[in-house]
Homo-oligomer: A and B are copies of this chain.
Amino acid sequence: MKRPAKLSQVPLSRQIKDFIIDGVSSGELAPGDRIPSEAELAKQFSASRMTVNRAVSELTVEGRLNRVQGLGTFVAEFKPLAPLFEVRSIAKEIADQGHEHSSIPLKSERGPATKQEAGRLEVPVGTEILKLQVLHLSDGKPIQIEARLVVPKFAPEFLDQDYSETTASDYLQRTVQFTEVEHKLDAVAAGPEFGRLLEIDEITPCLRLVRRTWLRDDIITYVQLIHPGGAFRFTGRFKGPGNVTDVPF
């Protein structure tokens, strides 16, 4: 029953991949669960086993599945490669460690970029940007100040939204695979203003993380000032030979 090689809009192997990915993200498939065997999927999609094999293999290379010969294919524990870079990693870490996370918006406005802000974003002074500043609390105690500057070239309508729940997934779905990021990490004294907000002495060392992200044509700048007690843990997962050889001995 040789099927004519007419290609639909979306390749069959892509459909199979999406089917599995959707199952995971919807919660039907949890990490550790076994997914249907290649033969079952092939029947279900009227595809040949090789097509299924290709789809599943790619998901394995991507780290989403683990395959065991003789046993089956299982949903992998999916850890983002570098959770440090998540939006709400601080909030998540706080929550994961059993503390209660809350936040107080300090600033949320749009307006022309000042000289300093423009410098951070590498845009002309006066460009209309979104400026946000949030104080994060752990069990009611101030722990981090987060400042965010956004040049919303791509979707100005997001300017009016409550930013706190907005993530890239809202407007990007598996479209962009790569994102350039530049980070700068250093330690600074809290200083009078932030020291007061964080309820610490102004000479207290704080961690400052400046992150610039290029996503398509947009530039996003983050500044996080983290209270020393707010040191956070995160686990990362490296993938691929390029990292293996970079792992320190």
Contact = CB atoms under 8 A, between A and B. Distances in A.
Nearest to A234: B183
Dominant SS at the A interface? Answer: mixed
Interface in A48-74: 54, 57-58, 61-64
A240 B81 contact: yes
A27 interface: no
Copies of the protein in its oligomer: 2
Contact of A249 (B168, B188, B245): B168
B186 A231 contact: yes
B207 A187 contact: yes
Contact of A178 (B174, B206, B237, B245): B237
Q: How large is the interface on A (under 10, 10 to 19, 20 to 34, 35 or more residues)?
A: 35 or more
A233 B183 contact: yes
Contact of A177 (B80, B168, B188, B241): B241
Contacts of A208: 187
A144 B98 CA distance: 34
Given A61-B58, A246-B80, A249-B170, A231 B177 contact: no
A168 B245 contact: yes
Contact of A203 (B64, B84, B150, B203): B203
A220 B249 contact: yes
Given A177-B244, A183-B235, 9 more contacts: A21-B241, A80-B246, A82-B236, A168-B247, A182-B235, A183-B233, A186-B228, A187-B206, A220-B249
